[in-house]
Amino acid sequence: MPNARNLRQRSRRCAAAEASVKPYQEGAPGACLDAMAGFISEVRSSANGLIIRAAIIAAIGGLLFGYDTGVISGALLFIKKDLHADATAQEWIVSVLLLGAIVGALISGYLADKISRKWTKVISGCVYFIAAIGCALSFSVPMLIGFRFLLGVSVGTASFVSPLYISEVAPPRVRGGLVSFNQLAITSGILIAYLVNFAFQGLPGNWRWMLGIAALPGAALAIGMLTVPHTPRWLAQVGREDDARKVLEKLREGDEKADVDGELKEIREANEREAGSKVRDLFGPKVRPLILIGLGLAVAQQFVGVNTVIYYAPTILSDTGLSASSSIGQTVFVGVTNVVFTIVAVLLLDRVGRRALLLIGTIGLTVSLAVLGIYFAVPTLQHTAGWLALICLIVYIAAFAIGLGPVFWLMISEIFPSGLRSKAMSVSTMTNWAANFVVAGSFLTLNMLITRQGTFFVYTAIGVASFLFFMFRVPETKGRSLEQIQTELVGENSGK
């Protein structure tokens, strides 16, 4: 059984093998910029137009996810007046999406294996299109709640089939960056939503436009996915070896370092080891430690309170004494920081590695949570240093964006054996949405019970615990093929 020490040893072997082929030198001046430039030149030499197009189209799933996370708080201000929604109805309108996402993540684990990653994403785009129009045309609270649930099913599906699809078409050397296009799309979706909220507030029927406009990327996802291939790994898994070869040859066209025969052999061997895997194998002795990593990352990603910052940033800022409109303006600044630092992560993940960014990011966000707690605990600070809260929120979101944000979605697309990958990702994603639901629903209550500073200190403690968990359990995966990772982490003979 791969216990913590084995995982660490294996991850060190991964890192050592990697160090021998990477020119990146830690600590050298300008190393970060070199690493970013290195990633771009690696993409140029290994990822052709088809891969980039496939990654961008698949990442539209992330855009839908992010847009919805960001849009609802703005739209709600108008919905409550128009549809006469009381506090309970408003809570349902917001949180039913998270429940839908839990259901979506559950069923799409099955669909992604059964009907393919590609068709699951086409269906997710169609459902999103219908649900977005349904939300925009809703004339009553129950109707809106129903369509928000459907929207959630689509968002939950897209949230993990996007990284799954990209990880299975990307060349190993740039997989981290390409899979994290999805996180970049999530953060861009949140930012676009903030801007749409701002731009549409004066329009008649504003909330209907805010919710309805999302039908466009939904349609783009469904139509776009029809133009890209199935993943070679899924094709091989269902016995379509010839098609898998054809697709892989197209995906690796122009990459001088590619070894299509070698990759196919690895995929075949991994599939043979994994043939007939069942859901119960997820909890078998070999895969259990990996499931624990997936679930640990899923819970940590939400329990450090990221969505309280996304949902409640204007409230947190207005409590520092800012006017409502400056709070909303400064929230846009938080959204921009999220996008910018996700771009930094995309450029660094394949050079610096997942672990280093995860650990540095977790330290940054934990420190900013602690300072935020102190800020709310010390009244003089609130009178004299109102800017401190904004700085903390910015540092927090930047640290989340270079670490835990992208690394959770990336790692769960990499660490699981192929026969169990979609099921294990589906369980991890469901857990992430469930944790999101718990945090979103408890923030205001926690504030009342243990004060605002108490709440931030609880998140700080979770940040410390998460850091220790990552330090001792999370392996490095950069630069390895999915099959090599599988062999390193699960062993040669079986994935069960």
Q: In the complex, which residues of this chain contact ligand BGC (CB under 6 A)?
A: 69, 183, 186-187, 301, 306-307, 310, 338, 405, 432, 436
Q: Which is nearer to ligand BGC, 128 or 311 (CB)?
A: 311
Which residue number, 55 or 228, has a Cβ lying nearer to ligand BGC? Answer: 55
138 or 157: whose CB is closer to ligand BGC? 157
Report how far apart the first and last C-alpha atoms of the chain are (Å, whole number). 10
Among 201, 221, 200, 171, which Cα is nearest to 56's?
A: 221
CB of 310 to ligand BGC, least distance (A): 5
Task: Give the residue with the Cβ less far from ligand BGC, 306 or 402.
Answer: 306
Tell me how far apart the alpha carbons of residues 372 and 390 are, in angstroms, rounded to a whole number. 9
* Phi/psi at 403 (5° precision): -120, -95
**Residue 255: how many CA atoms within 13 Å on its side-chain side?**
25
Q: How far apart are CA 19 and CA 21, in angstroms?
A: 5
Rounded to a whole number of angstroms, the minimum distance from the CB of residue 496 to ligand BGC is: 29
Closest distance of CB 466 from ligand BGC, Å: 14
By beta-carbon proximity to ligand BGC, the closer residue of 426 and 432 is 432
Task: Give CA–CA dist 44/177, Å, rounded.
Answer: 13
Residue 383 CB-density burial (10 A; 0-12 exposed, 13-18 middle, 19+ buried): exposed
Whose tokens are 């850091």? That residue is 467
Tell me the residue type at 39.
F
C-beta closer to ligand BGC: residue 301 or 447? 301
Distance CA 393, CA 331 (A): 9
Sign of CA dihedral 234, 237, 243, 245: positive
Specify the residue for token string 């469930």. 434
DSSP symbol at 423: H
**Shortest separation between residue 17's beta carbon and ligand BGC, angstroms:** 29
| 85 vs 398, beta carbon nearer ligand BGC | 398
> Residue written as tokens 């909303």?
328
| Closer residue to ligand BGC, CB minimum distance, 14 or 357 | 357
Nearest distance from residue 90's CB to ligand BGC, in Å?
A: 19
Q: Which residue is nearest to ligand BGC (CB)?
A: 405
CB of 66 to ligand BGC, least distance (A): 7
- DSSP string of 345-390? HHHHTTTT-HHHHHHHHHHHHHHHHHHHHHHHH-HHHHHH-THHHH
Nearest distance from residue 299's CB to ligand BGC, in Å?
12
In the complex, the smallest distance separating the C-beta of residue 300 from ligand BGC, rounded to whole angstroms, is 11
